[in-house]
Amino acid sequence: MRALAALAHSEVSVREQLVTVARWCERNDVEFWTAPADAEEAGASEFASDRALGAADLVLSLGGDGTMLRSVHLLDGAPTPLLGVNLGSLGYLTEVEADQLEASLTTFFDGAEGDDWELDERLMIEVEVAGRHVGRALNEAVVEKHQAGNTVRLLALIDGEPFTYYAADGLIVATPTGSTAYSLSARGPVVSPHHRALLLTPVSPHMLFDRTLVLDPTQTVEVQVSGHRKADLALDGRFVQTLGDGELVRCTSSSATARFVRFGEFHFHQILKAKFGLQDR
């Protein structure tokens, strides 16, 4: 039996969308469930299940880019396709609007990959601390100052070799997908999400060298805390842990990818143009 799971933004009223999806699934012989916490927030506990998201043929993300990031996190590397349904402002990752939901489900389940829909695979980062795997990121891993008002001293290493010490608010290790997130606000470059690279971007560095390094995806990037000031590690905006002197964060390209369903050619530059209100000249 075909299966569909859904996740929803807790601050967006999505019960109507969940009911619409459930009715479509009933008509089309597709098993449907949603994560218990999301179902409770939406007032739709009848759809709640603890079943793993990776058991679905498709995961729906109802919300915006933040919900997409959470969906990728909860999939935990499973190769399940993810369809973003935009319920907020224009996002980079979502694919369809709410009024296109039923038609999109029909196209996915009754169509064929390569003819009716495509998979847009995105590079992710694997992150370790002291040799222990702590998570995976689609946008970025950030090592940032723990205490406001102070910079933190961080040593960046590339393929095990020291590059330089940064006196900065933090260091961002980003993917091309994450180039339009935190890295962009730190003056990093905009990179096509179909490119494969790792970006090392300093946050408010107190030094002359303030450029982003664009590295090969096969390279390893490590960030080591140096000195008595602590730093915090976050993955895609989720706090992981506080780091002390000598602790090292290791970032490598993941063998797993985030897999987004697309129903037409993905024009990143057009989304960028709309997001920033750019005009034709």
One-character DSSP codes across 111-151: S-BTTTBEEEEEEEEEEEETTEEEEEESSEEEEEESSTT--
Domain 2-117+263-275 has CATH 3.40.50.10330: yes
Confidence of residue 8 (pLDDT cuts 50, 70, 90): confident
Confidence of residue 266 (pLDDT cuts 50, 70, 90): confident
Least confidently predicted of 51-65, 81-95, 128-142: 81-95
Taking the C-alpha atoms of residue 75 and residue 86, their distance in angstroms, rounded to an integer, is 19
The yes-or-no verdict on residue 80 having pLDDT over 80 is: yes
Give the pLDDT score at 90: 65
Residues marked active site are found at 65
Confidence of residue 222 (pLDDT cuts 50, 70, 90): very high
Give the pLDDT score at 52: 93
Is 124-256 the same fold as 2-117+263-275?
Answer: no
- Name the residue with higher pLDDT: 4 or 154: 154
- Mean pLDDT of the 77-89 span: 91
- Mean pLDDT of the 109-134 span: 95
The yes-or-no verdict on residue 267 having pLDDT over 80 is: no
Within a 13 Å sphere around the CA of 266, how many CA atoms are in the beta-carbon half? 18
The yes-or-no verdict on residue 133 having pLDDT over 70 is: yes
Q: What is the value of pTM for the model shown?
A: 0.93
Q: Please name the residues in contact with 208: beta carbons below 8 A apart, sequence gap of 6 or more.
A: none
* 206 DSSP assignment: S
Domain 124-256 has CATH 2.60.200.30: yes
The yes-or-no verdict on residue 110 having pLDDT over 90 is: yes
- Name the residue with higher pLDDT: 149 or 266: 149
Confidence of residue 264 (pLDDT cuts 50, 70, 90): confident
Domain ranges across the chain: 2-117+263-275, 124-256
38-50 pLDDT, tens digit each: 898 888 999 999 9
187-216 pLDDT, tens digit each: 999 999 999 999 999 999 999 899 999 999
Average of per-residue pLDDT values in the chain: 93
The yes-or-no verdict on residue 7 having pLDDT over 90 is: no
Taking the C-alpha atoms of residue 253 and residue 184, their distance in angstroms, rounded to an integer, is 20
Give the pLDDT score at 10: 60
